[in-house]
Amino acid sequence: MIDTTRIQAITLDLDDTLWPVAPVIVHAENTLRDWLQQHLPRTAQLWQTPDLPREVRRAVVQRHPERRHDLSFLRREMIRDVMVQAGDAPGHADAAFEVFFAARQQVTLFEDSLGTLRALAGRYPLLALSNGNANVRQIGLGDCFVASIAASQVGCAKPDRRIFQAAADAAGLAPEQILHVGDDAQLDAQAAREAGMQAVWLNREGKPWPLETAPPPQIHTLATLVQWLLPR
């Protein structure tokens, strides 16, 4: 069990914790593809080349290793590279990226997300802690969170303990006073514990704990957090 007496704030992973991420990435990529087809058909066609996006991404990361955790930066540079290769003006990259980015915020929350966030936010400061480029304010969840910690800003990604420390710093607390909740056994649950936080593994599908370490407390639905943390 978790030691609720020590918890002063909660950090939450976003993708696959509050909403399923795969459908929203498909939606964002389709939206970008449609926009390119309409505005820059040569870029759109080149983008469809099998393996090309992956190769371009690799090239961008090689050029900018210090930005490898900044998924928005990588995406914008990828678009720019493909535009240049296709013979289009790379000045359109920002507009194309904005189309992708806006679509990427159109998530569909898991059923238990909003109620749990609202209930917890009434008692604890909540901080978003994500390796991705979802934006809780644009998604409409800004009221639930006091801060957002993103790998793109910190310059490192989970499981690096520095990103957990950055969240603790943002909360003005020690890691020991924070509970981290996330769906990834390694990047969330195990890494948070190694950074000195308590952790709950959100295991929606009832998978076995995949690591050699002792399993952390696990939940199958976020709503369980309300039972654990807000006893009547």
When CB distances to Mg ion are compared, the closest residue is 16
CB atoms within 10 A of CB 212: 6
DSSP for residue 149 = E
Say whether residue 15 binds Mg ion (CB under 5 A): yes
Helices (H), 15-134: 21-39, 41-47, 52-63, 71-86, 93-104, 113-121
CA dist 104 and 219 (Å) reads 27
With CB under 5 A as the contact rule, the residue among 7, 13, 40, 160 that binds Mg ion is 13
CA dist 140 and 144 (Å) reads 9
The region of 7-15, 64-72, 103-111, 112-120 touching Mg ion under the rule CB under 5 A is 7-15
Q: Which residue has the tokens 């976003």?
A: 14
Per-residue string for binding with Mg ion, 167-196, x by CB under 5 A?
----------------x-------------
Residue 203, CA distances (Å) to 20, 21, 117, 229, 230 in order: 13, 15, 17, 18, 20
Say whether residue 158 binds Mg ion (CB under 5 A): no
Measured from the CB of residue 133, what is the shortest distance to Mg ion in angstroms? 13
Say whether residue 109 binds Mg ion (CB under 5 A): no
CA dist 84 and 82 (Å) reads 5
Measured from the CB of residue 131, what is the shortest distance to Mg ion in angstroms? 8
CB nearer to Mg ion: give 88 or 188: 188
CA dist 171 and 1 (Å) reads 23
The region of 14-22, 78-86, 119-127, 203-211 touching Mg ion under the rule CB under 5 A is 14-22
Measured from the CB of residue 21, what is the shortest distance to Mg ion in angstroms? 7
Residue 13 is among the residues annotated as catalytic for this protein: yes
Q: Which of 13, 15, 70, 81 is catalytic?
A: 13
Measured from the CB of residue 47, what is the shortest distance to Mg ion in angstroms? 26
Catalytic residue IDs: 13
Binding positions for Mg ion, rule: CB under 5 A = 13, 15-17, 183
